[in-house]
Each structure stands twice: as structure tokens, then as C-alpha cells.
Chains A and B, each alone.
Chain A
Amino acid sequence: MDVFLQVVVNGLLLGGLFAITSVGLTLIFGIVKVVNFAHGEFLMIGMYATFLITTRLGMHPYAAVAAVVPLLFVLGMMTQKFLIEPLMSARNHDIQIFATVGLSTALINLALLLFGADIATTPAYGLRTAVEVGPVRMLVGQIVMFGVAAALVIGLHLFLQRTQAGRGIRAVAQNRAAAQLMGINVSRVYMITFGLGAACVGLAATLVAPLYPTSPGIGTYFVLTAFVVVVLGGLGSIGGAFLGAMIIGLIDSLAGFYIGSDMREVAVFGVFLLILILRPQGLFGGRQTLSHVS
């Protein structure tokens, strides 16, 4: 029983990791409707920034939030403005996908040039300390990550539901042409949304960096799961992404222990496919469309 509890807790904490790394993607993928393959590399940039701030300035990784989140926000806005927007008028929207793949490869190689292929370790400042709650062990950093992920999801949900800007974003997501006719500056909404999505990745980076060593390829470790989580939760649904992350985390942990680690991905993607077959729009997906105009 103790072991089962530990496996479940491991799964939920892993879910917290998946949630925090996918929330940004659900904004970009669900609202701007750009499949951002550079999502993982945004995380990598945030992690290197956290690494540099902690090692050079001797600051706590969580204090790096103040610099990393704005940095990623600007980076996200610039990506939208200078890379995605010019391609929005292209006849074939797949071009944007290739643009983000190009951005991803370019960023990985830039990091290789600047930092080399070796891993860079952000000081943990006690975040790797294990605490025991009853029979269960968990890390301080994991608990914080889980809490922040939940708070971020609730915060973003309130922002999208209750504020004027949030309503604007949802209107654009539902129907770009109609939103434009209602006087919403679509181009600006896209920029802000992309920036927000990237800023969420920045927040994630400061939480992930003390727990995982940074390397130029680190983004690829997270990006596939992030896409799975976002699609599972339903495009653009923040709460759905959180729930999706928990499901994936739990399956990963339970299957890893009870079936065997070789079968983990089979189980995760098997359940993923099953849910999509039964509910093609994802768990919380509404009747949204991937088209940019309708």
C-alpha cells in the first residue's frame, strides 16, 4: 500500500512538471493556432537564463523569475511579430510549422555554440531535498512546482474568463474574422498571447532548472509530452491541459512500476489514442476550429 501511494504521488508530481511545461503551449497552440515546435527551446533558453542568473549573480533560482519571465515574454512577442505574422498570409499554413522547426534547430545549435554540448547544473538551493509525509517521499522543488502549476492554471483561467483582454483572446480563438469585425486588433492579440505563452514557459524554466541539468537538447525531453498534454486536454483549454498532464503523469508512473519501464510509452500513448478516438476534441475541447478564418 505504501508503495502504491508513493507511485501515485510520483505520478501526480510528474503531472505537475508536465502541466507547468505545457500551459504555455496550450495558449499558443490553442489560440494562435500555431504548432510551435520551438516550445522546448524556449524552455531551454529560460533554463540557461536561470542557470546564468543563479551561478553568476548568486541568486536563488526562484528569484530569477523576475528576469526570465519578462525575457521570454518579449521573445515570444518577437517570434510572433517577426516570424509567424509575416507567414500568416501565406497560402499554406504549414509554412509556419516549418518556420518553428527551423527556429528550434537554430536555437539548439546556437546554444551548442555558446554553451557546448555538456550539461550545465543550476544550484539546487535545497530544492532537491526530500521531505517525508507519512510513507511518501517528495522533493521540495516538486511540491512547489505542483503548487505553482495549479495556481498558474487558475490564474490564467480567471484572466481569460473575467478580463476584457481575456475575452478578446477567446474571441479571436473562436473566430478570427468575426473578432476582427468586432473591432479587436487581432495582430496585437496574437502577439500578447504568444508572449504570454512564452512567459509561462519562462516561469516553468525557473522551476525546472534546479531539478534537471540544462543542455542544448533539453527542450526535446519535454516538448513531445507537452503536445500530448495539450491535445489531450483540448486545444486552448487551460484546465484541460492541467487534467491531461495529471493523467499522463499518473499513467507514466503506474505503468512504469507495475508493467515495466519499457512499456511506459506504450501505455501513455495507448491511452492518449484511446481518449482521442472517443473524444476527438480532447477532454475539455469545445467546438473550436483549427482554421484561421472561419
Chain B
Amino acid sequence: MKLTHLLKTTVAAGALLGAQAAYADVTFGALYPFSGQLALLGEESARGLELAVDEINAAGGVQGEQVVLERGDAVDNNQAIGEARRLISREGVKAIFGTYSSSRSIAASQVAELSGIPYFELGAVADEVTGRGLKYLFRVNPTAEDMAATIIDMIVDKVGPMNDKAPEDLKIGIIYEDSSYGTSVSGHEQAMAKEAGLNVVTSQAYPASTVDLSSVVLDLKQRGVDVVLQTSYQNDSVLFLQQAHEAGFQPLAIIGGGGGYSTQPTADAVGHDIIDGVLDTDFTQYIVNKDFTPGIDDFLAAYDAKYGGEPRSGHSLTNYVGAMAILTALNEADGFEPDTIIETVSAIDIPEGTTAAGYGVKFGENNQNERARMMGLQWQDGKLVTVYPDDAAAAEMRIKN
């Protein structure tokens, strides 16, 4: 049944693309993992870009030309490179948008750089994406470093004061899965925690495919850790939260770094009563102060009209906001020459509190959006609610006990 549905949507999408192509004047690449392990959130990310394109086209397109997206399936790193080549040389795209996965982004943007085609990263968080100093790569979304910054700020501003503890009295335990994602976020956490005067008592890596974290839980419990920071995927998030609960380990706060902590199935698997009060940091989610994120309701309405239902994560919103910023700016430019594009985009200056994701857009060093930031979230009654910073918060942060 799912398969037929899939086929229908594919055929419908194909028909739609074909219909648009007749009026098409400017083509951009949409490079995401549409199949394979990362397909779920890859597809979710691409929807944000598609909604932005729909909105722009409905308003007259970019420089009077309708925008058409040519999809590339970045199922693995090699294919990301192959698809980037195809988009650039065969389809003649003027720019590529992507990519959700950091490793795919790093691989594909290399190709775009060599060809001198602008590459707009809307969702990958690894430091290296912009850290390589590429000329044609711009990143709109917040990064692993922004994630760590929000976590540490949240501890100092909220978790400490709410529990009547000075930052240096809090014992922090950092645990992370040992691939580049966990390693980079936890690396920033350690450095920033030290700067903020927090007392990090342990920092431990484990393989994401582990089936047992009981020794880690026991170790944290023995050390009397007050705040646990975990950077993890889905299975290991579920495993840690369950095993901590079962071992009777109740720290003042558990703070996750995106990934597994932000999805509804994680909450359902762990149990809504057990995950209640757990903190998280991630892209802007949907239960947020809507005065801080103007346009988010329109986004949700457009999403529901096109795909039916609610977004499955914040990825679509983040990609939508990034794509809107770029496409709106390109509308003011004169032509689609690569150098014109990057000159126009470099001049973008959108203040905070005026986009649907809350943060503003201004590209700084290495073409990273220096106004991008992550939000602090908390599981409250089975829902992921924005609680930090205050101007974006939809509810007060709760403490246990």
C-alpha cells in the first residue's frame, strides 16, 4: 500500500515537474539523500526548499523567471559527487541547494567549488562544511558549534539558577557517539564549558551501534553527575534514557544535542513520562513563540496543503528559511552568473526575529551565517516545546522534583 502511494507521488511529482518545465527559465539543483538510510530527513529537508520555490514562483519567480528544481539523490558520498557533476554539467543548474547530511555536503560542494557553481547549504551542521574556506559555498543554518553554545548558555542561564547552583558547583558529564557528529559537538561543549567555568567531571565516547550503556549510566551515577550532555542518534538516545531511568539515575538535567532527542518516535519509545523534562537543542521547532518566528503559521499551512499533515521535524522549516533568504535576494540581482550570485548573497542582511525560524541571516567568516542559532527545547507532556532563549520560548523551562 505504501509502495503504490510512493509510486503515485513519484508519478505526480514527475508530471508536475514536466508541466513546470515548459515555463522554466532558471534551474537549481536540489541535492539531498532521497533514498537509503537518511531518506526520511533528507526528504523532509527537501520539502522546505520546495515550499520556498513554490512561494517564490507564485509571487512571480526570480527576476521574472520561474524556478525549477532538478533533484539529485545523494544516497552516499560517491553518489553525491556524481549527482553534483550531473546537475552542473548535464542539467546546467545555476546553483545547488542541499544537503542535510554533512558528509554528502562536504563531498558534493567540492565539485561545485571546482566548477565555480554556488552551493547553498541549508541543513548540514558539521564544522568542516564552512571550515574549508570555500568561495562558492554558503551556509545559512546553524552549526555544531552553535549547538554546543546554546547548550552551555542554557546551563549557565537556566539550569544552574533554577536549581540554586552556581555554574562551578554543577558536575557536568558529557557522553557522545564516537563518529564525527558526536565528537565535534562534544569537543565544542568541553571547550565552552571550560570557558564558562563549568566543572566537567567526565567525557566519554561510545560507538553509536552499542546495545548497552549501563556501564556508562553507572559511572555517571557514581560520580554524582548533575547535568548529562548527550550527543547521539536515535537508538542510543532511547537506550541511554531508558537505562538511566531503570538504574534509578536522576540528574538535575539531561540535555541532548539534536539527532535522536528531537524526534517523536524517540519520545514514544522512551515513554512520555520518562522523557518528560529532558532538554534538547536543535533547529527551530514548531512549538515556539510565534512573535519571534513570523511566517511560521503560513509555512505550516503551505506544508499541510502540499504534503498533508505536520512536518516530521524542524528540517523542513530550516531549509525553507534558508532557501527563502537566498531566492529573495537573487530576485534583486541582475542575472545568474556565479559571481553575481555570490556578490548578491554576501550582501544579505536580515535581522533577527523576522524569519520563520527566528534567527536572521548575515554571512560572515567562511560564508557561514553568523546570525544562525539553535533553540533550547524541552519535552513537556509528550511534546517538544521551545524554552530557550526567552524571546523564542513558548513555555517556561520546568525542573524536575
Contacts and interface: CB of A to CB of B under 8 A. Distances in A.
A231 B235 CA distance: 27
B175 to A, nearest CB: 8
A3 interface: yes
Interface residues of B, number: 40
A10 B214 contact: yes
A253 B218 CA distance: 10
A58 interface: no
A121 B269 contact: yes
A102 to B, nearest CB: 16
A257 interface: yes
B2 interface: yes
B212 A215 contact: no
B191 interface: no
Given A212-B211, A221-B211, A118 B38 contact: no
Q: Is the interface of A mostly helix, strand, loop or mixed?
A: helix
A261 B3 contact: no
Contacts of A255: 215
Contacts of A137: 246-248
B238 A213 contact: yes
Q: Is the interface of B mostly helix, strand, loop or mixed?
A: helix
A212 B2 contact: no
A130 B246 contact: yes
B246 A139 contact: yes
B187 to A, nearest CB: 14
Given A117-B39, A118-B40, A261 B205 contact: yes
Contacts of B268: 121
Contacts of A112: 35-37, 39
A264 B206 contact: yes
A262 B210 CA distance: 11
Contacts of B216: 256, 261
B215 A253 contact: yes
Interface in B237-261: 238-239, 242, 246-248
B248 A261 contact: no
Contacts of B273: none
Contact of A221 (B175, B209, B246): B209
Interface in B40-69: 40-41
Interface in B1-56: 2-3, 6, 35-41
B207 A265 contact: yes
Contact of A116 (B40, B218, B234): B40
B265 interface: yes
A3 B235 CA distance: 26
Contacts of B349: none
B218 A119 contact: no
A225 B215 CA distance: 18
Interface in A27-67: none
25 contacts: A3-B222, A10-B218, A17-B211, A17-B212, A112-B36, A119-B266, A119-B269, A121-B265, A121-B268, A137-B247, A212-B235, A213-B238, A213-B269, A215-B235, A220-B209, A221-B209, A252-B212, A254-B215, A255-B215, A257-B215, A261-B206, A261-B215, A261-B216, A261-B219, A265-B207
Given A119-B235, A261-B175, 16 more contacts: A3-B218, A7-B218, A10-B212, A120-B265, A121-B265, A121-B268, A121-B269, A130-B247, A139-B246, A213-B238, A220-B209, A256-B215, A257-B219, A261-B213, A261-B219, A262-B205
Interface of B: 2-3, 6, 35-41, 175, 178, 204-207, 209-216, 218-219, 222, 234-235, 238-239, 242, 246-248, 263, 265-266, 268-269
